[in-house]
Amino acid sequence: MYPVLLVSNHGEIVGGGEVSLLTLLKGLDRSHWAPIVVVPSEGSVATRCRALGLPTHVVPLPSLRCPGPAMLRSLVHLSRLVRDMGVTLLHANGSRAMFYAGMVGRLAGRPVVWHLRVWRRDHKLDWLLARLATRTIAISEVVRARLLRWPRAYGRCSVVPNGIDLETFSPSKDSVSVRDALGIPPTARLIGTVGRLVPFKGHRYLLDALMRLRHKHPTVRLLIVGAGPERDALERYAQDMGLVEAAMFLGHRADVTDLLVAMELFILPSEAEDFGRVLLEAMATGRPVVATAAGGVPEVVEANVTGLLVEPADPAALAEAISTLLNDPGRAQAMGRAGRQRVETYFTMSRHARLVEAVYQDTLGLTNP
- Tell me the pLDDT tens digit for each residue of 142-194: 999 999 888 989 999 999 999 999 988 877 667 788 899 999 999 999 999 99
Which pLDDT score is estimated for 144?
95
C-alpha 62/C-alpha 40 separation (Å) is: 8
Which pLDDT score is estimated for 125?
84
CB 247 within 8 A of CB 184: no
Which pLDDT score is estimated for 122?
60
Which pLDDT score is estimated for 173?
66
C-alpha 137/C-alpha 144 separation (Å) is: 8
Which pLDDT score is estimated for 121?
63
Exposed, middle or buried by CB within 10 Å (0-12, 13-18, 19+), for 152? exposed
Which pLDDT score is estimated for 65?
80
Q: Which residues of the chain have pLDDT under 70?
A: 121-122, 172-173, 369
pTM exceeding 0.85: yes
Exposed, middle or buried by CB within 10 Å (0-12, 13-18, 19+), for 77? middle
Strands of 257-303, DSSP E: 265-268, 289-292
Which pLDDT score is estimated for 187?
93
CB 42 within 8 A of CB 72: no
Which pLDDT score is estimated for 369?
62
C-alpha 350/C-alpha 177 separation (Å) is: 32
CB 206 within 8 A of CB 265: no
Which pLDDT score is estimated for 110?
98
Common-topology check for domains 2-163+348-364 and 166-346: yes
Domain covering 2-163+348-364 in this structure, CATH number = 3.40.50.2000
Count Cα neighbours of 297 within 13 Å in the Cβ-side half-sphere: 25
Which pLDDT score is estimated for 290?
99
112-121: string of b/e by CB count within 10 Å (b at 16+)? bbbbbbbbee
Which pLDDT score is estimated for 175?
76
Beta bridge partners of 57: 38
Which pLDDT score is estimated for 171?
75
| Class (C level, CATH) for 166-346 | alpha beta
Domain chopping of the chain, boundaries: 2-163+348-364, 166-346
C-alpha separations of 317 from 116, 194, 309, 310, 313 in Å = 32, 20, 9, 6, 9
